[in-house]
Copies of this chain bind each other. A is one copy, B any other.
């Protein structure tokens, strides 16, 4: 079940600080990994990524028709390498998923793509070299990585 995980959930937000306050009130811990456009809240074995709604739409790279709200949530799987991203993206498409955005290098120095499942639920498959995974394959953005200058 190595690939059967959820390492991060992206939630589109209209007000990052307000949303971060909401999740902090429920026990999630703000991490130093964020910036002006995204706030990462650490939980037990999983991270919430609070991301501006417009930035999220741009990141997924598709527009939705008809005046309905864009899907505002994506499940994400952080993987150990770019090759793992490609492999799992291809497997998802082979299984009938829709290739929303083929994996490509990102402006933040990682590698990421989006695929949707058979009912349109978005998954981001990503390799982020700045987000090491722990021995369980979980993201831990509170424990400084060994060898990191951060």
Q: How far is the CB of A100 from chain B (nearest CB, A)?
A: 15
Asked if residues A69 and B68 are in contact (CB atoms below 8 Å), the reply is: yes
Asked if residues A95 and B11 are in contact (CB atoms below 8 Å), the reply is: no
Residues of B within 8 A of A60 (CB): none
Interface residues on A, range: 35 or more
* A121 contacts B by Cβ under 8 Å: yes
* A85 contacts B by Cβ under 8 Å: no
How far is A66 from B67 in the complex, measured between Cα atoms in Å? Answer: 10
* A19 contacts B by Cβ under 8 Å: yes
Interface of A is mostly: loop
- Identify A45's interface contact among B23, B45, B66, CB under 8 A: B45
Contact string against B for A residues 3-31, beta-carbon threshold 8 Å, 1 for contact and 0 otherwise: 11110010111110011011101111100
Binds B, one of A32-40, A86-94, A106-114: A86-94
Residues of B within 8 A of A41 (CB): 4
Asked if residues A92 and B2 are in contact (CB atoms below 8 Å), the reply is: no
Q: List, sorted by A's number, 22 A–B pairs whose CB atoms are closer than 8 Å.
A: A1-B29, A1-B43, A4-B41, A5-B43, A5-B44, A5-B45, A6-B6, A9-B75, A11-B119, A12-B119, A13-B118, A13-B119, A14-B119, A18-B96, A19-B117, A21-B95, A26-B91, A45-B45, A72-B119, A73-B73, A73-B75, A73-B121
